[in-house]
Amino acid sequence: MDVKKYLDSTYLKTPEQAGLTVEENTEVVRLAVAEAIHEDFKLIMIRPEMVVLAREMVVAANSRLLVGTVIDFPEGRSNLKAKIIEAQAAIENGADDLDFVCNYTAFKNGEVELVKEEILEGTRLGLANFKTVKWIIEVAALTEKEIIQLSALIKNVVMLHFEENQYASVFVKSSTGFYKTKDGKPNGATLPTITMMIENASPLSIKAAGGVRTFEEAMEMISLGVKRIGTSGAKAIADKQSSINEY
């Protein structure tokens, strides 16, 4: 089992968040894409404004690396029209994967029909353009009951409106990695939350994101059944597997 085939190498900081100029931050993205190409990771996950750069680099390298981006990141509170416009632009710019932030705040407030509509329309747009669609539910913002309910809601919308052969192209994803928690609590994937997601979103696949930084953590997630891992530590995870395989 090659862990690299599970890794969505991720860099989603703005220049302000990174404490860099626009030019310096663009160079960080460029290096991240180059590393992902060299390491043969599954995907590079970057912000929408970097998709064109990443696609150009992938084409120039004749690489099979996928290019992914985030939609309505990181809070997911934009209206459906704004989400769709952003996703359409990402498609036109060459993105392979669209990681939408689900409007989990609306869900928590009981606006279930609003959430169902964005799941339906966002998924429809992605699948119509042969893209992989992932819905980020932001587990750290949810109770255990809400994690179960929102995972099941996404599954039910997809199963009601799309064909079985399309299910593999729709994921439920744990986290943005940018949610601010209190008292040092995890803001991303944990074994209990991922287990709940798998149990309630199946047959859709799960992407574990936020907090997976070591080879051991990655293997735990894979053993549970996740199909993708979003991580800023992809190189360290891959290097650890390589060092183990040398013995």
- Residues 62/98, Cβ–Cβ less than 8 Å: no
Give pLDDT, residue 1.
Answer: 82
Question: 81-88 long-range contacts, Cβ below 8 Å, gap at least 24?
Answer: 83/118, 83/121, 83/122, 84/121, 84/122, 84/125, 86/48, 87/122, 87/125, 87/126, 88/125
Give pLDDT, residue 155.
Answer: 98
Give pLDDT, residue 73.
Answer: 98
Residue 26 pLDDT exceeds 60: yes
- Helix 22-39 crosses helix 51-60 at what angle (to 10 degrees)? 40
- Residues 203/221, Cβ–Cβ less than 8 Å: no
Give pLDDT, residue 182.
Answer: 84
Residue 127 pLDDT exceeds 70: yes
Q: What phi, psi does 129 have (nearest 5°)?
A: -105, 15
Residue type (1 letter), 102? C
The answer to whether residue 99 is catalytic is yes
Which of these is catalytic: 99, 131, 134, 155? 99
Which of these is catalytic: 83, 131, 155, 207? 207
- Residues 186/211, Cβ–Cβ less than 8 Å: yes
The answer to whether residue 42 is catalytic is no
Degrees, nearest 5: CA angle 190-199-7: 50
Which of these is catalytic: 42, 83, 134, 173? 173
- Residues 7/237, Cβ–Cβ less than 8 Å: yes
Tell me which of 7 and 187 has the higher pLDDT: 7
User: What is the CATH superfamily name and number for domain 3-245?
Assistant: Aldolase class I (3.20.20.70)
Residue 38 pLDDT exceeds 70: yes
pTM, two decimal places: 0.96
Indicate the burial class of 214 (C-beta count within 10 angstroms; 0-12, 13-18, 19 or more): middle
Q: What phi, psi does 11 have (nearest 5°)?
A: -145, 110
| Percent of the chain whose predicted confidence (pLDDT) is above 90 | 92
Tell me which of 247 and 14 has the higher pLDDT: 14
Residue 184 pLDDT exceeds 80: no
Confidence category of residue 245, pLDDT binned at 50, 70, 90: confident
- What does the pLDDT average to over 66-94? 98
Give pLDDT, residue 129.
Answer: 98
Confidence category of residue 240, pLDDT binned at 50, 70, 90: confident
Q: Give the whole-angstrom CA distance, residue 165 versus residue 169.
A: 9
Residues 6+ away with beta carbon under 8 Å from 101: 70, 71, 72, 73, 74, 75, 76, 136, 138, 176
Is the C-alpha dihedral spanning 75, 81, 85, 91 positive or negative?
positive
Residue 122 pLDDT exceeds 80: yes
What residues are paired with 229 via a beta bridge? 7, 208
Nearest to 87 by CA among 115, 57, 54, 127: 127
Confidence category of residue 246, pLDDT binned at 50, 70, 90: low
Residue 42 pLDDT exceeds 80: yes
Q: Give the whole-angstrom CA distance, residue 44 versus residue 29.
A: 10
Residue 183 pLDDT exceeds 90: no
The answer to whether residue 8 is catalytic is no
Give pLDDT, residue 247.
Answer: 53
